[in-house]
Chains A and B, each alone.
Chain A
């Protein structure tokens, strides 16, 4: 589904991603862990289509499409979704209107029959209910004045509404209490049930109490230095990232 092949990326003069290889198949959950500054968000942004980067080598294909040439919206049409590490505030646009517009845009681009406003409304309310998203937030401007937790919930809410084929969760669990972690679990589960895939970027073990990944990868200084299963995450917990780095280069 997603194939990243030998991806090298510069931001300005800085060599951030130094040869990333990653394959994600339908229905899989991947976790990427790594210290701050190792390039996790950069990787997420590049998959989603942010164009602040210089790609000097490599390719990304999604369901057979070479997506590096595509705009962010074209990638969204294909089914790629990014839950932002730092969700952006959009003053003056209500969350309700925003999600409605997004759904209509996706349906139109995919040549699907438009769904009626009342149907969207129903789905919005059901999803908000399921995820424990405060209904008042729907009427407010997207993320404006939302607490940190509310912003993250909102990302999961949007993800659930848009039902992507590949969702990338960039530290969505950071700074959340157990209740909120449970919401991520629900959101991820909803996707996996339908054979969609999830790429989770996280610092924490505790997500693993809920979610069982197919793969865990360690991203360190722009390279995936080790991949494994759930147990790898536990090892990281014990030994720290540096241990893996040193043992790899020895």
Chain B
């Protein structure tokens, strides 16, 4: 039997032989080749974790998208009941029929073939981490790129809901999705991102998203990870230009395995980044967050707050790195990670890492790990609330801090609804 590295290269060469990549832009072709060469030369695949994860899985590059049985009626159940725009993908392919967008939003699917549109080359594949196997794998096997361009001076209050449906007949599929989102200068957008499988075949979604927040833009980005059947490897890179403000919410609610790699790069002065996360681990779920905030310029800020609970035999890892470069004076950077453990068998490991090379900065991190406060629980129960109600009350307030700034009323309610549904079903 081939090992995974051989499997990858074999699969790639097979596609090549079938001329699958032939009509693509040279730029894309080169990137694929470059990635495969790296995999070939490199030791990246020796990573234990990667081996475990991928051994059983097969890379999908399926050009046959006839999924006409997937009707609106089926999809409707998963679409948010929120006014706004909707961008729907089915198995990684943009579905115009079920999408609903504003004429000003530029969506380019299949842009790999559009030689004449060179704009995306300015942005595509520029932010990724070339030492990371998930990134390289995605670049080599990405099937259709999505380029969402929000023009300058574009202010909309309704959210843009991007939803990726997947339906695979087979088990153990690795599936690569790729987004490039460019938000123009002075623009203001809310983006909701969601992955949803439509059957219970086990798949890994290896997703890579590059987001550019141009000068003075304001992005509220919501990741709703709520798919019990699939695993998600989320690689997200933000590049923020001067005076931009980005709030990135990561709601890790359900999923066999969730790996978040969130990278923020501040490229200009006067930038603010908010990272907010809620994690609810249960059963044997494995949920990790790797965050990196790269402060390169003075007079910038970052605030990171993750509130997590872990029940049953779930486990979590939090790696939070803040890097403040030599010239990044007068930067405020705060990180706070709070973890509540609800069972003896749940595990959480938190590793904050501050690397500060500037001398005039305010930077701090804090981390708490422990059970729910027993004295508070007793006080509440002595007033007549059941043990479960008391715990739910405390968990709800624990999460409140991370939700209260959501301005989209419907979205906030939806998030609260999901939280309630999940924490009600947890074993205490």
Contacts and interface: CB of A to CB of B under 8 A. Distances in A.
B384 A73 contact: yes
Contacts of B386: 71, 73, 105
Given A91-B397, A93-B397, A101-B393, A84 B384 contact: no
Contacts of B18: none
A162 B379 contact: no
Contacts of A81: 382-383
Count class of interface residues, chain A: 20 to 34
A71 B383 CA distance: 11
Where chain B touches its partner, the secondary structure class is: helix
B383 A162 contact: yes
B428 to A, nearest CB: 13
A73 B376 contact: no
Given A73-B387, A101-B393, A105-B389, A90 B376 contact: yes
B380 A77 contact: no
A92 B398 contact: yes
Interface in A57-82: 71-73, 75-77, 81-82
A241 to B, nearest CB: 29
Nearest to B399: A92
A88 interface: yes
Contacts of B380: 90, 98
Given A88-B376, A90-B376, A82 B397 contact: no
A86 B381 CA distance: 16
Contacts, number: 65
A88 B375 contact: yes
B385 A73 contact: yes
Nearest to B374: A52
A76 B384 contact: yes
A50 B376 contact: no
A71 B380 CA distance: 12
A76 B400 contact: no
B378 interface: yes
Interface in B358-388: 375-376, 378-387
Nearest to A92: B397
A127 to B, nearest CB: 15
A39 interface: no
A73 B375 CA distance: 14
A78 to B, nearest CB: 10
A92 B400 contact: yes
A50 B382 CA distance: 9
Contacts of B382: 48-49, 72-73, 75-76, 81-82
A77 B379 contact: no
Interface centre among A72, A75, A109 (most CB of B within 10 A): A72
A170 B386 CA distance: 23
A212 B384 CA distance: 29
B346 to A, nearest CB: 22
Interface string A162-178: 10000000000000000
A194 B64 CA distance: 78
Interface of B: 375-376, 378-387, 389, 393-394, 396-398, 400-401
Given A72-B382, A162-B384, 7 more contacts: A49-B382, A50-B378, A71-B386, A71-B387, A73-B381, A73-B385, A101-B393
26 contacts: A49-B381, A72-B378, A72-B382, A73-B386, A73-B387, A76-B381, A76-B382, A76-B384, A81-B382, A88-B378, A88-B379, A90-B376, A90-B393, A90-B397, A91-B397, A92-B396, A92-B397, A102-B385, A105-B384, A105-B385, A105-B386, A105-B389, A106-B384, A158-B383, A162-B383, A162-B384
| 3 interchain residue pairs of minimum CB distance | A92-B397, A76-B384, A72-B381
